[in-house]
Structure formats: C-alpha cells, structure tokens
Amino acid sequence: MTAYRQLTPAEYPALNGLWHRCFGDTEQEITAFWRAVGDQVRVFAAWDGGRAVSMLCALSAGLVDEAGDLLPAAYLYAVCTAPERRNQGLAAKLTAYAEAALRRQGVAVTALVPANADLFRFYEKLGYETVFYHKEYTIPPKAGSVKLTKIDADAYRSLREMQLYGSFLSYDAPLLHLQEVMSGGTGLYRAETDSLVCCAAVQKEGAILHIKELLPDCPEAASALAAALHCQSAVVRTEGSGTPFGMAKALSGVCLPKTAYLGLAFD
C-alpha cells in the first residue's frame, strides 16, 4: 500500500537513489543540493514496500503580486516517480498531498516549471495555470567596456529585487546560493555598462554559457560575460512575454497574476 508523507531532514538521503534514477545526478551532486537548501525546503514522498517511489521538493519562495504584496509561496522542484511506477497517478496524488500540507503551513501559492509540453498539460489537469513567461536568445561573445564583478548570494538578491517590477517569484539568499552551487563555480555576477547595472546568474557547460537570468535585459552584458568566461556563445533568459516558462496554483483565496516572472529554475 502506498503511503504519502512529509519527510524529516534525516530522511532526505533515502531519496538519493530515486533522484539518481530519475535525473542522473551523482551522489555528490545530490548531497550538495541537500546541504545548500538547508531549511529552505520541505520534502514529500510516496512510499511503497519500504522505499520511495515518488518525490517532490517544495522550495521556500515568495510571490510578489501585482499590488506589490509578498505572498508565501513554494516552488515545486525535483518532482519525479520511479520509472516502473509511472502512469499510475502517484505524482498527481503526491502533489495533492503536498499542496494540502503546504496550505496548512500557510503557503498561498505553489509554482513549478514543467520540463516539456506534455507536463504543461499534466499540471493543467491538476489546476495549474501558465503565468510565468520569459524571453530567450543566443548571442556571440564580445569583449567591451562592461565591468563584471562576481558577487555573493546576498548581494545578488539585493540587486535582483531592485531590478524586478510587477509580479515575480522572490527567493531568499540561501536559494540563490543554491544557484551558485549548481553553477559549478561559475556563479553570480554584477555587470555594469555605461547606462545599466545588471545581475546575471550564469552556468558554463562546455563552450556554451547559460545565463539563467539577466536583469534587466542587456545583450552587451551577455556578450561580455561570454567573452570573459571564454565561451563560444551565451544562451540568455531574461524578462519578456514570448515564451511560456512556469505555472502556478493558488492554494488559498488569492488571485494569480496573468503574467509574472520566475527566472531562476535551478535547472
């Protein structure tokens, strides 16, 4: 019989095998995730036969609504089911269980980023709406007069919050530190041009620089980062309405924004 419950931190390593099977991350990478998120995560799992068969992480966040109010939110992350147990409704039941628990704990909104179009349709059936959009483009490297400074998670958070207007998902410094960890040392940057001060979360993969977030949009800064980090090109995510990116669900009586910004997905 399948049982659904919220785990204690001491139980998180019991999910490492399922995580590895579903996402391919190494034991070291998974352990680094648990260490980085600390008390910023709540973890839920479905158990059967003494082992985890489905899991999800709820990362602490806040949704700044269109009035500028901060709503308690949770970003659902690493949602997965063991390959041999898929198509049995486990993920849907676990998501519903987690939502009920999060609602009792004061969370007003859950957010997530589906990995493909089929998952957008899957989460629509669970009551999620597409509200998070962004713009994405690729740009070649070009050294210029942009001043680049590597910064820590606290400084990045301050700069990020100053750059965002309207509705967006807000993260505290511990989760921005998670982005540092996941970048493999590439990290978080402040980029200054003659007219703009930007923040950029970057991750180098081979000869490609993935700029997971650039605020505000500044192609000059993106090109300078690619040049400084010796990359052939940069793939940039920034604010925009062109590409559906994430979904949200109201757990209480709040109204979801029609369009909002999520940005960092820790992917």
Residue 45 reports pLDDT greater than 90: yes
When computed from its CA atoms, the radius of gyration of the chain, rounded to whole angstroms, is: 19
CATH code for the domain defined by 133-243: 3.40.630
Question: Phi and psi at residue 217, in whole multiples of 5°?
Answer: -60, 130
Residue 151 CA, distance from chain mean position: 19
AA identity, residue 38: G
Which one has a higher pLDDT value, 1 or 8? Answer: 8
Strand partners, 59: 41, 75
Looking at the DSSP assignment, which residues form a beta bridge with residue 45? 5, 55
> Mean pLDDT, to the nearest integer, of 226-237?
97
The arithmetic mean of pLDDT across residues 183-203, rounded, is 94
Domain range list for the chain: 3-130+244-250, 133-243
**The predicted structure's pLDDT at residue 241:** 86
pLDDT at residue 1 is higher than 90: no
Condensed to tens digits (0 to 9), the pLDDT of residues 20-39 reads: 999 999 999 999 999 999 99
Whole-prediction pTM value?
Answer: 0.95
pLDDT of 66 > 90? The answer is no
Per-residue tokens: 111: 């957010």
Task: Return the CATH number of the domain spanning residue range 3-130+244-250.
Answer: 3.40.630.30
